[in-house]
Chains A and B, each alone.
Chain A
Amino acid sequence: MTSSKYLPLITTIAVFVLAYLICIAQFPSMWSTRVIGNLLTDNAFLGITAVGMTFVILSGGIDLSVGSVIAFTGVFLAVLLQNTSIHPLFAFVLALMITTAFGAFMGAVIHYLEMPAFIVTLAGMFLARGVSFLLSTQSVPINHPFYATLQHLYFKMPGGGRLTLIGITMLVVFLVGSIVAQRTRFGANVYALGGNIQSAELMGVPVGRTTIGIYAVSGFLAGLSGIVFSLYTSAGYSLSASGVELDAIAAVVIGGTLLSGGSGFIAGTLIGIFIQGLIQTYIVFDGTLSSWWTKIVIGLLLFGFIALQRGILWMSEHGSVSFRKKAAA
């Protein structure tokens, strides 16, 4: 069982390494610190929210609201910084408080009203997108000097690549996320919820508190992702980040987390993000392929990984059945 637990993660890493080798074979310049720096910077917002999504999916849920929450956070920050003179850091805290509370609220609805997460977060998705349109329908630029300062915080790697603040933020979020998932009571509860909610309840897992906590974490990270996105584009736009929730779900599944919950790793999601970023980079380097190939390849990979998960499940069931038969004989 332990080997099959790690099998999806190992497959993901193998796919990534192989894909990168193929890319380098065709375009040697893809082996550069610039490309690696870009992978981190360009996917920072997606990665951060995908950590939240991993927690949600590990618990057997889903959060469709994150893309809209990212857009909301961006517009909220842009409008706030344009119309008031408060410091961006204070605006960040405000935005994070709102998005965390929003996530917690959705968690509470899911738990107490016993509604499917799909429906509740779908409502949340419309709500957050609608509110951002209410704030502004146009792209609002952010010209605060503090933003410029943050954008110019980076380490220059040998070869011209940049390790930016937002790239580092993503790595830190993944690190903290992994520790929380593997080493804390909350993390253990998340896995227990995803395994089987009834037995988790019997084992004394505080289901309500954990559910609210999970969606609060997802809301918080979506808010953080929105801050990172606003740093990335120096603007808030209500149409931005549409479909990010689906990219995040794809990254989680490609990263080896079981969609039905209970099994998977935060680190796998990081590789899932890198695989998506790598495909996009490859297509730009090639320069003749339609960019829609990104979606096609991601779709194929998703199918592959779902089949793999089914296979592992089938193998472990099959294995235990034959074992029982042997024992009976």
Chain B
Amino acid sequence: MRSLILLAGTAVAAGLVLSSVSANAMTVGFSQIGSESGWRAAETSVTKQEAEKRGIDLKFADAQQKQENQIKAIRSFIAQGVDAILLAPVVATGWDSVLEEAKEADIPVVLLDRQIDAPEDLYLTAVTSDQTYEGKVAGDWLVKDVGDKECNVVELQGTTGSSPAINRKKGFEQAIAGHDNIKIVRSQTGDFTRTKGKEVMESFIKAEDGGKNICALYAHNDDMAVGAIQAIKEAGLKPGTDIKVVSIDAVPDIFQAMANGEANATVELTPNMAGPAFDALDAYLKDKKEPAKWIQTESKLYTPADEPMKVYEEKKGLGY
């Protein structure tokens, strides 16, 4: 038993030495929801890259879609004494008490890609995209692209009732308001999936005189657009020329379609939420600079002019 204690003692001492070596680097805990979608996997790998770039020691905890695991992880981060915590919350409610503990321990918390229902003083800031703005960027592109020509648009909506579906629809409608030559003639949900996107597009084409009346497709995400491109090809039309395709997310596959001239534009939902978060944390921890409560990520528009194959190669390895 004595040798065991001795062993533990030396190990503790060794551990102390080790931890003092890396003491000057910032340690950040990241509680991620899980890896339920390609985008989320990409967010995880980009966060790890961004941390490495800045020399941040990132502690990563995958919650396997469970809030209790996220709360446990945050508590463990606090116990560990990290410098800051990133949280991509799985649900909006139930964070108050654990965030209060973090606040008491003076550990700033930054929310990634989703907002929560909690008093604003419990977190430093939230880094998210503006979904309405994403829809608007897509709409603005179409308005500019068609000019004064008549254009009938079909819309593939996201999952009914989900906030990205509602907001991306709203933003697009805002953009085309006042341009009477552009009309949404059909709009239906494709559930954000490739197969549903293809199915619904097939029915659109049938209903609109074999697709001759359709000038453009607006899909709430790239996956549905990729499915719809397949349907357009099968109907004997040329996607990208006969029917213009504009969508949102900027996943790697849409860049391949763009390189083949089958898609016209996509608006990026960036997986790099951590970059702006680390910048805000840096400014806060070093200079005590309070960031705004909401940091909006850039919603960048990509067209075939942006070297789609190059972007594809960059994004391919991120886990989409």
Whether the Cβ atoms of A280 and B8 lie closer than 8 Å is no
Interface residues of B toward A: which range? 35 or more
Whether the Cβ atoms of A28 and B62 lie closer than 8 Å is no
Whether the Cβ atoms of B91 and A235 lie closer than 8 Å is yes
Which residues in window 62-89 of B have CB below 8 A to A? 62-64, 66-69, 71-73, 75-81
| A32 within 8 Å of B (CB atoms) | yes
Would you call the interface of chain A mostly helix, strand, loop, or mixed?
helix
Interchain nearest-CB distance for B308 vs A (Å): 33
Contacts of A297 in B (CB 8 A): none
How many A residues, CB 8 Å from partner? 42
Which residues in window 1-20 of B have CB below 8 A to A? 4, 7-8, 11-12, 14-16, 19
| A35 within 8 Å of B (CB atoms) | yes
Out of B66, B68, B79, name the residue touching A29 (CB < 8 Å): B79
| A76 within 8 Å of B (CB atoms) | no
Whether the Cβ atoms of B67 and A240 lie closer than 8 Å is yes
Whether the Cβ atoms of A235 and B71 lie closer than 8 Å is no
What total count of A-B pairs have CB within 8 Å?
108
Which segment of A88-96, A104-112, A286-294, A316-324 sits at the interface?
A: A286-294
Would you call the interface of chain B mostly helix, strand, loop, or mixed?
helix
Whether the Cβ atoms of A32 and B79 lie closer than 8 Å is yes
Which residues in window 263-310 of A have CB below 8 A to B? 280-281, 283-288, 290-292
Contacts of B93 in A (CB 8 A): 139-141, 233-235
Out of B4, B14, B76, name the residue touching A284 (CB < 8 Å): B76
Whether the Cβ atoms of A34 and B78 lie closer than 8 Å is yes
Whether the Cβ atoms of A287 and B61 lie closer than 8 Å is yes
| B59 within 8 Å of A (CB atoms) | yes
| A25 within 8 Å of B (CB atoms) | yes
Contacts of B15 in A (CB 8 A): 25-28
| B92 within 8 Å of A (CB atoms) | yes
Whether the Cβ atoms of B92 and A139 lie closer than 8 Å is yes
A217 to B166 Cα, complex, angstroms: 46
Contacts of B80 in A (CB 8 A): 27, 29, 284-285
| B105 within 8 Å of A (CB atoms) | yes
Q: Which residue of B lies closest to A140 (CB)?
A: B93
Whether the Cβ atoms of A284 and B77 lie closer than 8 Å is yes
Contacts of A281 in B (CB 8 A): 72, 76, 79
Give me the 3 closest cross-chain CB pairs, A-B, nearest first: A287-B59, A25-B11, A233-B94
